[in-house]
Chain A
Amino acid sequence: MFEFRFSSLLKALLLFTCILGGCEYLSRLDKLKAELAELKTRSDTVRETAELRRQEWNELKTAKGKLDQVEARMAETLRQRDILDIQDRKLTSEVKYWADSMAAAVENTRASAIGTVIPELRLPGRAALYNAKIFKITDDSISFLHEDGVANLHVKTDELPMEFVHKYDLGPKSIHAGLQRLIGELSPPAPSKPDASGKSVGM
Protein backbone atom coordinates (compact mmCIF):
# COMPACT_ATOMS: atom_id res chain seq x y z
CA MET A 1 0.00 0.00 0.00
CA PHE A 2 1.31 3.51 -0.97
CA GLU A 3 2.33 5.62 1.99
CA PHE A 4 2.84 9.41 1.62
CA ARG A 5 6.11 10.42 3.26
CA PHE A 6 6.06 14.15 3.59
CA SER A 7 9.52 14.57 5.00
CA SER A 8 11.23 12.81 2.07
CA LEU A 9 9.37 14.95 -0.49
CA LEU A 10 10.29 18.08 1.40
CA LYS A 11 13.91 16.97 1.55
CA ALA A 12 13.93 16.33 -2.18
CA LEU A 13 12.32 19.69 -2.88
CA LEU A 14 14.74 21.45 -0.63
CA LEU A 15 17.68 19.72 -2.28
CA PHE A 16 16.36 20.63 -5.72
CA THR A 17 15.83 24.25 -4.69
CA CYS A 18 19.31 24.41 -3.24
CA ILE A 19 20.86 23.02 -6.43
CA LEU A 20 18.85 25.45 -8.57
CA GLY A 21 19.68 28.38 -6.31
CA GLY A 22 23.34 27.41 -6.30
CA CYS A 23 23.42 27.26 -10.08
CA GLU A 24 21.67 30.61 -10.38
CA TYR A 25 24.00 32.14 -7.84
CA LEU A 26 27.12 30.90 -9.63
CA SER A 27 25.78 32.01 -12.99
CA ARG A 28 24.98 35.51 -11.76
CA LEU A 29 28.30 35.69 -9.97
CA ASP A 30 30.12 34.82 -13.20
CA LYS A 31 28.18 37.45 -15.11
CA LEU A 32 28.88 40.10 -12.51
CA LYS A 33 32.57 39.20 -12.39
CA ALA A 34 32.82 39.36 -16.16
CA GLU A 35 31.06 42.71 -16.19
CA LEU A 36 33.38 43.97 -13.45
CA ALA A 37 36.49 42.83 -15.33
CA GLU A 38 35.25 44.50 -18.52
CA LEU A 39 34.47 47.71 -16.65
CA LYS A 40 37.91 47.68 -15.03
CA THR A 41 39.59 47.41 -18.41
CA ARG A 42 37.39 50.15 -19.82
CA SER A 43 37.98 52.30 -16.77
CA ASP A 44 41.77 52.00 -17.20
CA THR A 45 41.53 52.96 -20.86
CA VAL A 46 39.22 55.89 -20.15
CA ARG A 47 41.44 57.08 -17.30
CA GLU A 48 44.52 56.92 -19.54
CA THR A 49 42.71 58.84 -22.27
CA ALA A 50 41.53 61.43 -19.77
CA GLU A 51 45.08 61.82 -18.48
CA LEU A 52 46.40 62.27 -22.02
CA ARG A 53 43.73 64.87 -22.79
CA ARG A 54 44.49 66.63 -19.51
CA GLN A 55 48.20 66.83 -20.37
CA GLU A 56 47.38 68.04 -23.87
CA TRP A 57 45.02 70.66 -22.48
CA ASN A 58 47.58 71.80 -19.90
CA GLU A 59 50.26 72.22 -22.57
CA LEU A 60 47.86 74.15 -24.79
CA LYS A 61 46.65 76.29 -21.88
CA THR A 62 50.23 77.12 -20.84
CA ALA A 63 51.22 78.02 -24.40
CA LYS A 64 48.07 80.13 -24.85
CA GLY A 65 48.70 81.85 -21.52
CA LYS A 66 52.23 82.69 -22.61
CA LEU A 67 50.98 83.98 -25.97
CA ASP A 68 48.34 86.10 -24.22
CA GLN A 69 50.99 87.55 -21.91
CA VAL A 70 53.30 88.40 -24.80
CA GLU A 71 50.38 89.93 -26.72
CA ALA A 72 49.37 91.99 -23.69
CA ARG A 73 52.96 93.21 -23.27
CA MET A 74 53.13 93.94 -27.00
CA ALA A 75 49.87 95.94 -26.85
CA GLU A 76 51.16 97.87 -23.84
CA THR A 77 54.49 98.56 -25.53
CA LEU A 78 52.75 99.71 -28.72
CA ARG A 79 50.44 101.90 -26.65
CA GLN A 80 53.50 103.44 -24.95
CA ARG A 81 55.13 103.93 -28.34
CA ASP A 82 52.00 105.71 -29.61
CA ILE A 83 51.95 107.93 -26.53
CA LEU A 84 55.63 108.73 -27.09
CA ASP A 85 54.91 109.46 -30.77
CA ILE A 86 52.18 111.92 -29.79
CA GLN A 87 54.40 113.47 -27.11
CA ASP A 88 57.27 113.70 -29.60
CA ARG A 89 55.12 115.38 -32.28
CA LYS A 90 53.63 117.83 -29.78
CA LEU A 91 57.00 118.74 -28.29
CA THR A 92 58.63 119.04 -31.72
CA SER A 93 55.94 121.40 -33.01
CA GLU A 94 56.08 123.50 -29.85
CA VAL A 95 59.89 123.71 -29.82
CA LYS A 96 59.93 124.52 -33.55
CA TYR A 97 57.36 127.25 -33.07
CA TRP A 98 59.37 128.80 -30.24
CA ALA A 99 62.68 128.40 -32.12
CA ASP A 100 61.25 130.14 -35.22
CA SER A 101 59.57 132.79 -33.14
CA MET A 102 62.73 133.34 -31.12
CA ALA A 103 64.86 133.48 -34.29
CA ALA A 104 62.61 136.22 -35.67
CA ALA A 105 62.65 138.11 -32.37
CA VAL A 106 66.45 137.87 -32.08
CA GLU A 107 66.91 138.96 -35.67
CA ASN A 108 64.56 141.87 -35.09
CA THR A 109 66.32 142.91 -31.89
CA ARG A 110 69.77 142.65 -33.46
CA ALA A 111 68.67 144.54 -36.59
CA SER A 112 67.17 147.34 -34.57
CA ALA A 113 70.39 147.57 -32.54
CA ILE A 114 72.57 148.31 -35.59
CA GLY A 115 73.69 151.91 -35.45
CA THR A 116 73.11 152.29 -31.75
CA VAL A 117 75.79 154.46 -30.23
CA ILE A 118 77.13 153.73 -26.78
CA PRO A 119 78.89 156.83 -25.38
CA GLU A 120 81.17 154.86 -23.12
CA LEU A 121 81.61 151.10 -23.14
CA ARG A 122 83.62 149.83 -20.22
CA LEU A 123 85.10 146.37 -20.79
CA PRO A 124 86.85 144.08 -18.28
CA GLY A 125 90.62 144.01 -18.84
CA ARG A 126 90.46 146.38 -21.78
CA ALA A 127 90.46 150.07 -22.41
CA ALA A 128 87.02 151.67 -22.51
CA LEU A 129 85.49 152.36 -25.95
CA TYR A 130 84.05 155.80 -26.55
CA ASN A 131 81.16 156.53 -28.89
CA ALA A 132 81.04 152.87 -29.85
CA LYS A 133 78.57 152.27 -32.63
CA ILE A 134 77.20 148.79 -33.21
CA PHE A 135 77.59 147.84 -36.86
CA LYS A 136 77.36 144.04 -36.81
CA ILE A 137 75.95 141.43 -34.44
CA THR A 138 76.53 137.71 -35.02
CA ASP A 139 75.61 134.76 -32.79
CA ASP A 140 78.75 135.08 -30.69
CA SER A 141 80.14 138.55 -31.24
CA ILE A 142 79.35 142.23 -31.62
CA SER A 143 81.43 144.53 -33.82
CA PHE A 144 81.72 148.17 -32.83
CA LEU A 145 83.02 151.22 -34.63
CA HIS A 146 84.46 153.60 -32.09
CA GLU A 147 86.60 156.68 -31.91
CA ASP A 148 89.85 154.67 -32.07
CA GLY A 149 88.85 152.17 -34.74
CA VAL A 150 86.98 148.87 -34.89
CA ALA A 151 86.41 146.36 -32.04
CA ASN A 152 85.12 142.88 -32.53
CA LEU A 153 84.07 141.59 -29.11
CA HIS A 154 83.40 137.86 -28.58
CA VAL A 155 81.16 136.19 -26.10
CA LYS A 156 83.33 133.09 -25.79
CA THR A 157 86.29 135.01 -24.41
CA ASP A 158 83.99 136.91 -22.02
CA GLU A 159 84.89 140.20 -23.66
CA LEU A 160 81.27 141.27 -23.92
CA PRO A 161 79.38 142.53 -20.90
CA MET A 162 76.57 140.16 -19.82
CA GLU A 163 74.03 142.89 -20.50
CA PHE A 164 74.75 142.62 -24.25
CA VAL A 165 74.86 138.84 -24.15
CA HIS A 166 71.35 138.73 -22.69
CA LYS A 167 69.96 141.62 -24.69
CA TYR A 168 71.02 140.22 -28.08
CA ASP A 169 70.82 136.53 -27.10
CA LEU A 170 74.44 135.76 -27.86
CA GLY A 171 76.77 132.86 -27.27
CA PRO A 172 76.49 129.09 -26.97
CA LYS A 173 74.15 129.40 -23.98
CA SER A 174 71.72 131.65 -25.81
CA ILE A 175 68.01 130.83 -25.82
CA HIS A 176 67.93 130.59 -29.60
CA ALA A 177 70.91 128.20 -29.69
CA GLY A 178 69.30 126.13 -26.92
CA LEU A 179 66.06 125.81 -28.89
CA GLN A 180 67.95 124.87 -32.05
CA ARG A 181 69.86 122.23 -30.10
CA LEU A 182 66.55 120.82 -28.82
CA ILE A 183 65.23 120.60 -32.40
CA GLY A 184 68.36 118.66 -33.32
CA GLU A 185 67.80 116.32 -30.38
CA LEU A 186 64.15 115.86 -31.28
CA SER A 187 64.87 114.77 -34.83
CA PRO A 188 67.40 111.95 -34.59
CA PRO A 189 67.62 109.48 -37.49
CA ALA A 190 64.41 107.47 -37.13
CA PRO A 191 64.88 103.74 -36.56
CA SER A 192 62.59 101.38 -38.46
CA LYS A 193 59.86 100.14 -36.16
CA PRO A 194 57.71 97.06 -36.45
CA ASP A 195 53.94 97.50 -36.32
CA ALA A 196 51.50 95.23 -34.48
CA SER A 197 51.67 92.63 -37.25
CA GLY A 198 55.44 92.50 -36.92
CA LYS A 199 56.34 94.11 -40.27
CA SER A 200 59.06 96.68 -40.27
CA VAL A 201 57.80 100.16 -41.02
CA GLY A 202 60.13 103.07 -41.78
CA MET A 203 59.23 106.39 -40.17
Chain B
Amino acid sequence: MKPPLLSCCLALCLASVSCERHVELKREIAALDAAIKRDEAAIGQYEKDIAALGGSEALSRIVEQAQIKDEQLRPLAFVNAPRERRLKSIETEFAKLKPAAEAFKAAQPK
Protein backbone atom coordinates (compact mmCIF):
# COMPACT_ATOMS: atom_id res chain seq x y z
CA MET B 1 0.00 0.00 0.00
CA LYS B 2 1.24 3.48 -0.87
CA PRO B 3 2.02 5.82 2.07
CA PRO B 4 -0.57 8.53 1.11
CA LEU B 5 -3.33 5.98 0.99
CA LEU B 6 -2.16 4.56 4.29
CA SER B 7 -2.22 8.03 5.82
CA CYS B 8 -5.73 8.62 4.50
CA CYS B 9 -6.93 5.36 5.99
CA LEU B 10 -5.31 6.20 9.33
CA ALA B 11 -6.94 9.64 9.38
CA LEU B 12 -10.34 8.15 8.60
CA CYS B 13 -9.93 5.58 11.37
CA LEU B 14 -9.01 8.27 13.89
CA ALA B 15 -11.99 10.38 12.80
CA SER B 16 -14.32 7.42 13.16
CA VAL B 17 -13.03 6.57 16.66
CA SER B 18 -13.33 10.16 17.80
CA CYS B 19 -16.87 10.42 16.46
CA GLU B 20 -17.83 7.26 18.30
CA ARG B 21 -16.42 8.59 21.59
CA HIS B 22 -18.39 11.81 21.11
CA VAL B 23 -21.58 9.95 20.37
CA GLU B 24 -21.15 7.90 23.56
CA LEU B 25 -20.61 11.00 25.66
CA LYS B 26 -23.59 12.73 24.08
CA ARG B 27 -25.74 9.71 24.83
CA GLU B 28 -24.67 9.83 28.48
CA ILE B 29 -25.42 13.54 28.59
CA ALA B 30 -28.84 13.00 27.04
CA ALA B 31 -29.64 10.23 29.55
CA LEU B 32 -28.58 12.43 32.46
CA ASP B 33 -30.53 15.33 31.05
CA ALA B 34 -33.65 13.16 30.80
CA ALA B 35 -33.17 11.92 34.37
CA ILE B 36 -32.81 15.49 35.61
CA LYS B 37 -35.97 16.53 33.78
CA ARG B 38 -37.83 13.56 35.23
CA ASP B 39 -36.64 14.38 38.75
CA GLU B 40 -37.49 18.05 38.28
CA ALA B 41 -40.97 17.11 37.09
CA ALA B 42 -41.36 14.85 40.14
CA ILE B 43 -40.20 17.69 42.42
CA GLY B 44 -42.74 20.01 40.78
CA GLN B 45 -45.52 17.47 41.28
CA TYR B 46 -44.54 16.81 44.90
CA GLU B 47 -44.41 20.55 45.61
CA LYS B 48 -47.82 21.00 44.03
CA ASP B 49 -49.25 18.14 46.10
CA ILE B 50 -47.60 19.39 49.27
CA ALA B 51 -48.96 22.90 48.63
CA ALA B 52 -52.44 21.44 48.10
CA LEU B 53 -52.28 19.95 51.61
CA GLY B 54 -51.23 23.27 53.10
CA GLY B 55 -47.49 23.29 52.57
CA SER B 56 -44.60 21.79 54.52
CA GLU B 57 -45.65 23.48 57.77
CA ALA B 58 -49.06 21.75 57.60
CA LEU B 59 -47.62 18.44 58.81
CA SER B 60 -47.49 19.35 62.49
CA ARG B 61 -50.95 20.94 62.25
CA ILE B 62 -52.44 17.83 60.63
CA VAL B 63 -50.82 15.51 63.19
CA GLU B 64 -52.12 17.70 66.02
CA GLN B 65 -55.63 17.78 64.53
CA ALA B 66 -55.64 13.99 64.16
CA GLN B 67 -54.63 13.60 67.82
CA ILE B 68 -57.31 16.03 69.02
CA LYS B 69 -60.03 14.32 66.98
CA ASP B 70 -58.86 10.91 68.16
CA GLU B 71 -59.13 12.05 71.76
CA GLN B 72 -62.63 13.41 71.11
CA LEU B 73 -63.66 10.21 69.37
CA ARG B 74 -62.73 7.82 72.16
CA PRO B 75 -65.32 8.91 74.77
CA LEU B 76 -68.00 9.23 72.07
CA ALA B 77 -67.45 5.68 70.86
CA PHE B 78 -67.36 4.56 74.49
CA VAL B 79 -70.78 6.15 75.13
CA ASN B 80 -72.58 4.97 71.98
CA ALA B 81 -72.20 1.21 72.42
CA PRO B 82 -73.66 0.88 75.97
CA ARG B 83 -76.35 3.42 75.09
CA GLU B 84 -77.39 1.34 72.11
CA ARG B 85 -77.53 -1.79 74.28
CA ARG B 86 -79.59 0.05 76.92
CA LEU B 87 -82.08 1.31 74.30
CA LYS B 88 -82.33 -2.16 72.77
CA SER B 89 -83.11 -3.70 76.15
CA ILE B 90 -85.71 -0.99 76.92
CA GLU B 91 -87.25 -1.49 73.49
CA THR B 92 -87.50 -5.25 74.08
CA GLU B 93 -89.07 -4.71 77.48
CA PHE B 94 -91.49 -2.15 76.06
CA ALA B 95 -92.43 -4.51 73.23
CA LYS B 96 -93.55 -6.97 75.92
CA LEU B 97 -95.40 -4.40 78.04
CA LYS B 98 -97.22 -2.61 75.22
CA PRO B 99 -99.53 -5.47 74.18
CA ALA B 100 -100.30 -6.12 77.85
CA ALA B 101 -101.16 -2.44 78.33
CA GLU B 102 -103.33 -2.48 75.21
CA ALA B 103 -105.15 -5.55 76.51
CA PHE B 104 -105.61 -3.94 79.92
CA LYS B 105 -107.02 -0.77 78.36
CA ALA B 106 -109.31 -2.74 76.12
CA ALA B 107 -110.64 -4.68 79.11
CA GLN B 108 -111.33 -1.67 81.32
CA PRO B 109 -114.96 -0.75 82.02
CA LYS B 110 -116.44 1.87 79.70
Contacts and interface: CB of A to CB of B under 8 A. Distances in A.
Instruction: Tell me what chain B mostly uses at the interface: helix, strand, loop, or mixed.
Output: helix
B15 interface: yes
Contacts, number: 174
Interface in B59-86: 59, 62-63, 65-66, 68-70, 72-73, 75-77, 79-80, 83-84, 86
A74 B76 contact: yes
Instruction: Tell me what chain A mostly uses at the interface: helix, strand, loop, or mixed.
Output: helix
Nearest to B7: A14
A76 to B, nearest CB: 9
A98 B80 contact: no
Interface size class of A (residues with CB under 8 A): 35 or more
Interface residues of B, number: 60
Interface of B: 3-4, 7-8, 11, 14-15, 18, 21-22, 25-26, 28-29, 32-33, 35-36, 39-40, 42-43, 46-47, 49-50, 53, 56, 58-59, 62-63, 65-66, 68-70, 72-73, 75-77, 79-80, 83-84, 86-87, 90-91, 93-94, 97-98, 100-101, 104-105, 108-109
